[in-house]
Structures are given as C-alpha cells and as structure tokens.
Amino acid sequence: MDGCVFCAIAAGTIPADVVFQDGHVVAFRDLHPVAPFHVLVIPRIHRSSLADAVDADADLLGRLMLAAARVAREAGFEKTGYRTIVNTGADAGQTVLHLHVHVLAGRQLSWP
Ligand code: AMP
Ligand code: ZN
C-alpha cells in the first residue's frame, strides 16, 4: 500500500535488517528495540491490523506465527523463551498500521 513503511520494507525500497523472509512473510529487527532481541514479522501483503484479517488469511496468520517461532529458535531463544505480541488499535499502542508480530527475547519480561 502506498505510504506504508512496512509495505516498503517488504518491497525492499526501505532498508531493514532482515533476519528471515520467504514468499509470504518478512522478519526484520525493530528500529527501537525494547529487548536484546526484538524482531517484527510482517505479511508481504498489506493488512492494517489483526482486526482486518479475514478467513482467507488463516494460512498467512499461521505463517506469521511459524516465522516468529523460527527466528526465535534460530537466534537461540527456544529454551530460554520469548514473547510474541500483536498490538491492535490505539488502546494497544499500535503505531504502524501494517499487521506485525513482535518477537521479544533476551531478558526477563514482566507480565502483565
Ligand atoms: P507497534 O507499536 O506495535 O505498532 O510497533 C511498531 C514498531 O515498529 C515499533 O516497535 C517501532 O520501533 C517499529 N518500527 C517503526 N518503523 C520501523 C522501521 N522503519 N524499521 C524497523 N522497525 C520500525
Ligand atoms: Zn503495508
């Protein structure tokens, strides 16, 4: 989508530190990491948020989560753990309106 920064990253027109990509998803390091390991996993196609996902996106949503697990595993966090987060909408603090999964690891994360 025109003007969408994550669409531009997926298209390769804006640089990003890409750690994994395939035909469906791209995973890259967050510009402002909040943990030692902070990667975003996005679909190549534009969806503004999880609220925009439809039944036909079921495979894609699965691929996003599998890619999140993959980058965490390949970075060595399978045993120590990691957190996957999808912020949706204003109250969740979503700032980039292109669906993304945060993968955080490398420190003890508080909850809630
Ligand atoms: P959210 O608050 O869930 O919408 O998260 C958006 C995330 O995107 C934030 O953690 C930002 O630091 C990150 N971000 C924004 N622009 C870029 C960019 N060009 N490259 C990498 N990460 C970005
Ligand atoms: Zn987009």
pLDDT digits (tens, 9 = 90+) for 88-109: 999 999 999 999 999 999 999 9
Q: What is the mean predicted confidence (pLDDT) over 49-56?
A: 98
Q: Could you tell which of 96, 99, 101, 104 is best to mutate to test the pocket of ligand 1, judged by most ligand atoms within 8 Å of the CB?
A: 96
pLDDT of residue 1: 86
CA-nearest residue for atom 13, ligand 1, is 30
Q: Is residue 11 part of a domain?
A: yes
Q: What is the mean predicted confidence (pLDDT) over 51-74?
A: 98
Domain range for 98 is: 5-105
β-strand partners of 40: 28, 102
pLDDT digits (tens, 9 = 90+) for 6-18: 999 999 999 999 9
In one-letter notation, the amino acid at residue 81 is: G
Pocket of ligand 1 (CB under 6 A): 5, 16, 30-32, 40, 87, 93-96
Catalytic residue among 24, 32, 98, 100: 100
By three-state DSSP, how is residue 40 classified?
A: strand
Q: Which of 83, 57, 56 is nearest to 68 (CA)?
A: 83
Nearest bound ligand to the CA of residue 3 = 2
Residue 101 is part of a domain; what is its CATH number? 3.30.428.10
Q: Are 21 and 72 in contact (CB under 8 A)?
A: no
Environment class of residue 45 by beta-carbon count within 10 Å: exposed (0-12), middle (13-18) or buried (19+)?
middle
Q: Is residue 111 part of a domain?
A: no
Residue 100 is among the residues annotated as catalytic for this protein: yes
Tokens of 16: 């990003």
Q: Is residue 16 part of a domain?
A: yes
Question: How many domains does the chain fold into?
Answer: 1
